[in-house]
Amino acid sequence: MDFPIIRERGQNEIFCGLTSIIWLHRKIQDAFFLVVGSRTCAHLMQSAAGVMIFAEPRFGTALIEERDLAGLADANEELDRVVARLLERRPDIRMLFLVGSCPSEVIKLDLQRAAARLSQAHAPRVRVLSYTGSGLETGFTQGEDQCLISLVPELPADTGSAPSLLVVGSLADIVEDQFTRLFRAMGIEDVRFLPARKADALPAVGPGTRFLLAQPFLGGTARALEERGARRLEAPFPLGVEGTTAWLRAAAAAFGVDEPRFHEVTAPAVERARAAVERTCEPLNERRIFFFPDSQMEIPLARFLRQEAGMELVEVGTPYLHREHMAPELAQLPADTVLSEGQDVDRQLDRCREAHPDLVVCGLGLANPLEAEGMTTKWSIELVFTPVQGYDQAADLAELFARPLIRRAKLRV
């Protein structure tokens, strides 16, 4: 469907790509993410992660000081010392990511070359890779895309003739296990995930690889996999009952699973999920929702809320619209849906205030001011941190949107 799109280029309100480390470091269990940045970067990471009491986090910041910015110190020598101390202290690390930030971009520190040097120095125990999480170049979910792009060249080559399925995008372990059981019940046995849970379990990829995107913000990763010979399966994203069913059906069709078997495997989960969503969605029905662009999850979320929760879409903003990847989602949106790509935050705030929707999905920087104006908001970052994909999480996804409306109603009593 050819939607008219409001394209905006102006001031934007969004976290930088460093934020993605908060979920990536939990997913790759023996990796460490070393941000090469300033104290501001360190404070951001601490604030985003919260206080971790029971476990030592697998991320940190190699601080760029004033001497580094002034060119009075050799930043590469400093980095080598920091990495050596880190690996000595944390012998459990098997993969180390050097993550670029705005300060490292400013002083033109070549982290790709540094990663190659350090990887050679610490081989074979530790593999060192690099990617940019700089707010100059990436939004907060694009940090994961950059991380996975850096992993693709490291994936072993799959030279076999048998097809394999690769699920691309960080998923909570419980969601990954649920999908694995469903695929295997259909007869799809060779299922792999990127990123893998362990550094030595990277999935092989080749011409026989068919991949499904589990997250909508991985355009660069998809392109890199296609350059390795893999083929993307076109599907909506696995949000809600209908999205999950269509996503699974795309894999079933590619691997020759007939419709009776597909129905037999999915029907019990579909029935449970629909009943749970129906119980949860009552506060959402016929409520009006406005999405500010933040995570690139906005269009699949809008499809779910319109299709399964009965919400009315005032405006659906997204930082970047990948028409090819979003085609199955766009096909299910109403023809009069207002879409916006990019951001001019003042103009969007004006449109939001004029419409005065029941619920606004936005970043933390906009939520408190809008709440002060009497609007009800939902933090978009929570939708990335929380397991929301798949049948068993469909009601949880609906509840994330229902909860602020229920809270607002109680406060008015």
Instruction: Give the residue numbers of the binding site for [4Fe-4S] cluster.
Output: 16, 41, 102
Pair 229, 207: CB distance under 8 Å: yes
Question: In the beta sheet, which residues pair with residue 205?
Answer: 157
Exposure letters 284-302 (e unless 16+ CB within 10 A, then b): beebebbbbbbbbbbbbbb
56 backbone dihedrals φ, ψ, rounded to 5°: -80, 125
Pair 315, 290: CB distance under 8 Å: yes
Q: What angle is formed at CA 359 by the lines to CA 364 and CA 287, rounded to 5 degrees? A: 165
Contacts of 58 (CB under 8 A, 6+ apart): 25, 31, 32, 33, 93
Pairing relationship of beta strands 59-63 and 377-379 according to DSSP bridges: unpaired
Distances, alpha carbon 120 to alpha carbons 80, 114, 271, in Å: 12, 10, 53
Helix H or strand E segment including 191 = strand 191-194
> Whole-angstrom Cα distance, residue 83 to residue 379?
35
Q: Is 53 helix (H, G, I), strand (E, B) or coil?
A: coil
> Whole-angstrom Cα distance, residue 389 to residue 386?
9
> Whole-angstrom Cα distance, residue 71 to residue 256?
60
Pair 307, 240: CB distance under 8 Å: yes
Q: Binding site, residues?
A: 16, 41, 102
- State the sign of the Cα–Cα–Cα–Cα dihedral 237, 241, 244, 245: negative
Question: In the beta sheet, which residues pair with residue 61?
Answer: 35
Q: What is the CA radius of gyration of the chain?
A: 22
192 backbone dihedrals φ, ψ, rounded to 5°: -125, 160
Closest CA to 144 of 50, 23, 41: 23
